[in-house]
């Protein structure tokens, strides 16, 4: 059995309540129609190291949820009002990159994610290395 080292990248992205409700009711393609999610999926599915599994590219897991936050008076929130708790329907995109990717390439990928993300402060997590199964290696 062969394993390779990869870094997980989680991107929390707002989604319309309608698209989230439709997707959780069984029509998963509804999230493809949400412009915020579509921009990030387009990047993950593009010609880059995100979600590269050799035989498959653009691999990502999509989780449904909600995000809670309180914008400060200094914030310019996409959603919500300063000093008022808010809830946002959210999609969590989990993808992976090779753990040996040079730092400048990682920086470029994170900057590309930020450029497509609508939030003033995007929630993007880069986790510690994990080991992923690699067939045929």
Task: Give me the pLDDT at residue 137, please.
Answer: 58
Computed over every residue of the chain, the mean pLDDT equals: 95
Interval 71-84 mean pLDDT: 92
13-17, 19-23, 79-83: least confident range:
79-83
Q: Where are the domains of the chain?
A: 3-133
Distance, CA of 3 to CA of 133 (rounded, Å): 5
Q: Would the pTM of this model clear 0.75, i.e. be above it?
A: yes
Question: Fold for domain 3-133?
Answer: Alpha-Beta Plaits (3.30.70)
CA distances to 53, 62, 72, 80, 118 from 41, rounded to whole Å, are 16, 10, 30, 25, 14
pLDDT at 44 over 70: yes
């Amino acid at each position: 059995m062969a394993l390779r080292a990869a870094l997980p990248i989680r991107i929390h992205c707002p989604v319309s309540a309608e698209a989230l409700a439709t997707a959780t009711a069984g029509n998963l393609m509804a999230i493809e129609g949400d412009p915020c999610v579509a921009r990030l999926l387009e990047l993950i599915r593009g010609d880059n190291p995100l979600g590269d599994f050799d035989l498959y590219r653009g691999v990502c897991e999509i989780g449904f949820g909600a995000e809670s936050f309180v914008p400060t008076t200094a914030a310019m929130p996409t959603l919500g009002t300063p000093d008022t708790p808010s809830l946002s329907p959210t999609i969590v995109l989990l993808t992976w990159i090779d753990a040996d990717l040079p730092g400048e390439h990682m920086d470029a990928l994170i900057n590309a994610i930020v450029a497509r993300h609508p939030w003033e402060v995007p929630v993007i997590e880069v986790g510690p290395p994990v080991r992923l199964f690699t067939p045929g290696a």
